[in-house]
Structure 1
């Protein structure tokens, strides 16, 4: 899978539609979590996405230090449910970490991770810091890499 990184203003309307559709399918419908996904932060983030058969099936948004956390950060980590069995989540995290290093020249990355994905993020060098908390009704932990 090839990954692309774009600023918000560089996204085509088709790409933006697919990104928002994917995020809603997973975070709102699959996880049964009613929350405001379109939060205004997309404008200042970079968007990392992977295509399969010309369809966006993997996505994150990344922020430079100070735009979301004190460190650079990765958020809205999502892979289409039917594509997870292929390991695209790992490919997506590698591409996102690389994008943070390339675009923001940062090694230290903070994430707000859903608790059930702790081992997944640990496999990419993230370490839990602090206590568990609820974000939009879902248990999360803060994790840092680097």
Structure 2
């Protein structure tokens, strides 16, 4: 199974097949506009802009499981991200990343790349790097700044 086999919802509630990203490298991130790591939106957008023409996309999945840091509704959240953070990369509907209601995509991501202490996502802005075959190849902690991931993206896009 690959990341491309999953379906997610857009911020407007439409079903989106991740197969539309087939052949692209992806960075999948659980985001939150009220999180202390929200300053990473700038770096994520820069990665998205710098590598989009080489077959790379950042995909944002808002999550409200960590101290209510994504309290706004999906359509409002997308607007907040565009206006306050200049985000143009795709943002999807809010998801659970842990627990019995974790989205199947996140169940797959966590199974593919466990964290240093178990497989649960520990906080917002955990990042999963996916190669062009849809395989999850690396997981980055919330504290890992987007620019630190750049060398790994470069390797994938060679």
Would the TM-score normalized by the shorter structure come out above 0.5?
no
Q: TM-score, normalised by structure 2?
A: 0.27
Q: TM-score, normalised by structure 1?
A: 0.28
Higher relative contact order (CA 8 A, sep 6+): 2
Greater share of strand: 1
